[in-house]
Structure 1
Amino acid sequence: MLAALVAVAAFAAGWWLMARTGRAPLAPPPVAAPGGMVYVPGGSTRIGAEDGLPIERPVFTAEVAPFFMDTHPVTVAQFRQFVDATAYVTEAERLGDAAVYDSGSGGWRLVAGADWRHPRGPSATAAVDDHPVTQVSWNDAVAYAGWAGKRLPTEVEWEHAARNARDSRDRYAWGDALVEGGRHRANTWQGAFPGRDSGEDGYRSTSPVGAFGTTELGLADMGGNVWEWTADWFRPYAERGRPFEPGPASEKSQRGGSFMCHPSYCHGYRVSARSHSTPDSAFFHVGFRLVKDLPAADAET
């Protein structure tokens, strides 16, 4: 009886979505998503944007297998659980400093003692539990992923999810406007860049995860708040499929933009936008979220 009611509810929800948006509902998950994650159906997605920056071209089509994705970036509280359980020490802590943007000078500087607990330095405000963890390197994110039994998403998986697993061509993961009905849809920079952020969206730094709502898939912060590490080495799309041997200067790709992004600068919260840095780098505007593969039997169905 319960199964029948669930099926009826899902059917009704699908028809409601189709009536309101003109889009067919996405396929239901073959298995329940783990806690704190959502199901991302597989499919075909065009990656990149012809009207974007050169690093977003040429557009190519990718076939993506279904997977689960964290609803939001890993939070300070979640990262603390990992540290408490493993006594892990981040690269910023080992090196003794990390990168912080100085709005006064309009440039970046290494701040002694800046780390995931105090992203702007030991004399600044401590990181807030429900905000994304920052000042974590790619290597730190991989260490957390191993502990959590997950992995970093590929760039293709990240963009497929941001396009709501249906090759949406909207500029942003939630639509085509940064402000809808007077409501900001992402934590970004307002005002002239690199001057002072006016904070019209309510924040001048990171914001609580999910503060700006979710996408059609149920994902929060898929634009703005913090850039997110991905699994891939950063390479031009034209070199996809060519042999590649990373060197000391090779960098890992990041997606999603951050609270520092502005249309006049990087416009990084666009779905197709890309950034990159070396895997040992730590910044006060970069975090990560993880994905998980479906069980083999379910992935094949």
Structure 2
Amino acid sequence: MSLHPVQSILFASLLSLLLCCTGSSETSTNQTDVLLTPTVTYLVNHPSKLTPLTSLQSTNSKNAIFVPGGETEIGAADGLDQEKPMFWVRVKPFWMDQHPVTVAEFRAFVQAANYKTQAEIFGDGGTFDEATKEWTLTKGACWHHPQGPNQPAAPDNHPVTQVSWNDATAYATWAGKRLPTEMEWEHAARNARNTRSIYPFGNSLERNGKALANTWNGRFPDYNANTDGFKNTSPVGYFGKTPLGLADMTGNVWEWCANWKFNYADIANGLPQNGQERAMRGGSFLCEPGWCHGYRVSGRSFSTPKPR
């Protein structure tokens, strides 16, 4: 689905930022395959075998998870049109932050770099008014008060919101990291072994009556039963981790990706070098299947790199 910028900036997070790995576990590339990025190759043919999964026990750090290289089939046969046709990629290994960038982490960047987000420069941010059930521009809404200056400040351990793609890229550059491409994000969400479940942890959002992700619990925008315990964002990692060790890959906040919006049918031509919208993955606390099932592994969304 494609969201209006006012809708997306509230719950688009800085997401899980990446550091590249210099692993060499990939097999050779056919001449007909297409190098999409230095770390991702489009495979024209179905791989005859998948790269064996490397051990993860000694490679994870306190803040990052090692994502082994390998082959993943991107998309879903039963997904939306923008998730088709499915295609195979080979991804080089990399490290991925365990969870989305928190408010506290972003504050350190703002203070060190004397940075102003685009929402702060514009003077307002997009928020959802539960009373009117409509989106509105709220004066003063920004990363530290995402619902507006008259509402509570964002908790330090929640994912930072009200950040544009340009803000996310600025943070990543400062941190010595980068945003992932959609293919890297989905490879990680499929646990680096091409798991085909709806979500990274299986096919249900509940286990033993307990929610496994922060999503909208009801019919948006009319009613939210709030059975997962959070009306807005939740602390990073609150709902546990994927089998690979990543948190908040399902719901909580949309996560910016590096690449421009593109059609899967055109993947053999390579990724576009410019466009109008950047990709987002992971869904948010405002998503429910009736209007936005974006928190599926294959789910996609897009928005402009800056709020306006």
Please report the TM-score for the alignment, with normalisation by the length of structure 2.
Answer: 0.80
Q: Tell me how far 1:185 sits from its aligned partner.
A: 0.5
Three-state SS of the structure 2 residue aligned to 1:240 is helix
Is contact 1:227–1:254 with CA below 8 Å preserved after alignment? yes
Distance 1:186 1:150 in 2: 26
Distance 1:49 1:150 in 2: 29
Q: Tell me how far 1:29 sits from its aligned partner.
A: 5.1
Three-state SS of the structure 2 residue aligned to 1:159 is helix
Distance 2:163 2:149 in 1: 16
Distance 2:298 2:307 in 1: 22
Give runs of aligned pairs for residues 15-94 of structure 1, distance below 5 A.
26-28=53-55, 32-94=59-121
Is contact 1:198–1:204 with CA below 8 Å preserved after alignment? no
Q: Deviations over 1:252-272 (max 9, x none)?
A: 000000000001111111000
> Please, which of 279, 282, 293 is the counterpart of residue 267 of structure 1?
293
Correspondence 1:144 to 2:167: no
The aligned amino acid for 2:294 is G
Q: Deviations over 1:9-37 (max 9, x none)?
A: xxxxxxxxxxxxxxxx9412597444400
Which residue does 2:193 correspond to in 1? 166
Distance 2:297 2:273 in 1: 28
Three-state SS of the structure 1 residue aligned to 2:269 is coil
Which residue does 2:302 correspond to in 1? 276
Distance 1:136 1:184 in 2: 27
Give the number of equivalent residue pairs. Answer: 257
Three-state SS of the structure 2 residue aligned to 1:156 is helix
Is contact 1:56–1:272 with CA below 8 Å preserved after alignment? yes
Q: Tell me how far 1:237 sits from its aligned partner.
A: 0.8
Which residue does 1:115 correspond to in 2? 142
Q: Tell me how far 1:184 sits from its aligned partner.
A: 0.5
Q: Tell me how far 1:106 sits from its aligned partner.
A: 2.6
Give runs of aligned pairs for residues 207-286 of structure 1, distance below 5 A.
207-242=234-269, 244=272, 246-247=274-275, 250-281=276-307
Whichever structure has more helix as a proportion of its residues is 1
Q: Deviations over 1:56-90 (max 9, x none)?
A: 11100000000000100000000001111111100
Compare 192-201 and 173-182 and name the one that shifted more: 192-201
Correspondence 1:201 to 2:222: no
Cα gap change, 1:34 to 1:88, in 2 (>3 Å)? farther
Compare 237-246 and 152-161 and name the one that shifted more: 237-246
Question: How high is the sequence identity, in percent, across the aligned residues?
Answer: 56
The aligned amino acid for 1:172 is Y
Which residue does 1:291 correspond to in 2? none
Q: Deviations over 1:73-128 (max 9, x none)?
A: 00000000111111110000001111111223332111111000100111111100
Which residue does 2:47 correspond to in 1? none
Q: Tell me how far 1:241 sits from its aligned partner.
A: 3.8
Q: Tell me how far 1:245 sits from its aligned partner.
A: 5.1
Three-state SS of the structure 2 residue aligned to 1:99 is strand
Is contact 1:103–1:196 with CA below 8 Å preserved after alignment? no
CA RMSD, 1 decimal = 1.8
Which residue does 2:12 correspond to in 1? none
Distance 1:180 1:29 in 2: 25
Unaligned runs of 5+ in 1: 1-24, 283-301
Distance 1:149 1:34 in 2: 16
Is contact 2:260–2:273 with CA below 8 Å preserved after alignment? no
Q: Tell me how far 1:238 sits from its aligned partner.
A: 1.0
The aligned amino acid for 1:256 is G
Unaligned runs of 5+ in 2: 1-51
The aligned amino acid for 2:159 is P
Three-state SS of the structure 2 residue aligned to 1:253 is strand
Please report the TM-score for the alignment, with normalisation by the length of structure 1.
Answer: 0.82
The aligned amino acid for 1:262 is E
Distance 1:159 1:245 in 2: 20
